[in-house]
Amino acid sequence: MRNLNQDTITQAVIARLATTPDPRLKEILTSLVQHLHAFAREVKLTEEEWMQGIQFLTATGHKCDDKRQEFILLSDTLGLSMLTVAMNNDKPAGCTEPTVFGPFFLEDAPRFKLGEDVAGGASGEPCLVHGTIKSLDGKPVPNALINVWQADADGNYDVQYAHLAKPQARGILNADENGNFYFKTILAEAYPIPTDGPVGAMLKATKNHPWRPAHLHFMIDAPGYEKLITHVFRDEDQYLESDVVFGVRSSLVADWKKKPDGTYDLEYDFVLNPVKQTAKA
């Protein structure tokens, strides 16, 4: 492998991957090289631009720590996260649609009983959230495990505050035996994703805003069903058509009703996809 030129280098790199024992790794790396080289050829990448790309990715890595994942943010804003969700969650019609996970989930959120307030002191208008978890055939799914998380009225998740004593605006609860759930929280508001890193610079350079429409995150798990990771969005939010991470599905937009006493009410039912039964041997 000598004297490689712009016409022969791609095949030379691919040939070197031929020894990869893991067939899936081989497939992914081969395709990556093909597309990466094709991209460089298509845009006639200059050496200065190559260096800028390296610096951008380096800065993206430097921005990451145990609380901040700038690479996920980059994937989100380039639509790769939503593409991956869409490709891997092809559910039958009638199931609740999934959307992006986002970077603000916490594994060990506080536990709550039905009816309790998950806000934990987070700022925002009071809101009651309730509904039923159902199977595709319309029957209730009993006792599903529900994780919820959201930003406060200032557009921040608890993990974005440096010195909070305990988690806020997130929690874990179980639906009852009839699939019903209800809890208090705060009204979801639109918020900008973090813009103080390379992703923010990219959005600025492309004249795109950093806003996500108001939403409440749900992760719902029940034995015998596919895990559902989704949001419920607020109707009439100005960013529904231009979500910075491309996550909006019409079926996930709901009417968060304002009640006469000024508090809000969200009713939303979720439909889970039963795991396919494999034939017994």
Active site residue 215: yes
Judged by CB under 5 A, the stretch of 10-18, 97-105, 115-123, 250-258 that binds Fe ion is: 97-105
Q: Measuring CA to CA, which residue among 233, 240, 238 is closest to residue 256?
A: 233
Residue 143 three-state SS: coil
Report the site for Fe ion in 98-157 (rule: CB under 5 A).
102
100 binds, among ligand BEZ, Fe ion, none (CB under 5 to 8 A by kind): ligand BEZ
Show the tokens assigned to 99: 């959307």
Q: Measuring CA to CA, which residue among 12, 89, 103, 74 is closest to residue 244?
A: 74
DSSP 95: S
243 scored as a contact of ligand BEZ (CB under 6 A) = no
103 scored as a contact of ligand BEZ (CB under 6 A) = yes
Please tell me the count of residues contacting Fe ion according to CB under 5 A. Answer: 1
Pairing state between β 145-149 and 215-221: antiparallel
Active site residue 231: no
Judged by CB under 5 A, the stretch of 70-78, 95-103, 163-171, 241-249 that binds Fe ion is: 95-103
Active site residue 130: no
Q: Which of 182, 209, 217, 249 is catalytic?
A: 217
Q: Which of 41, 68, 157, 163 is catalytic?
A: 157
Q: Which of 63, 170, 212, 234 binds ligand BEZ (CB under 6 A)?
A: 212
Rounded to an integer, what distance in angstroms lies between the CA atom of residue 247 and that of residue 73?
13
Rounded to an integer, what distance in angstroms lies between the CA atom of residue 174 and that of residue 114?
7
Show the tokens assigned to 73: 């943010």
CB of 67 to ligand BEZ, least distance (A): 13
Rounded to an integer, what distance in angstroms lies between the CA atom of residue 73 and that of residue 70?
5
Which residues contribute to the site for ligand BEZ (CB under 6 A)?
A: 73, 76, 100, 102-104, 193, 212, 245
Active-site amino acid positions:
157, 191, 212, 215, 217
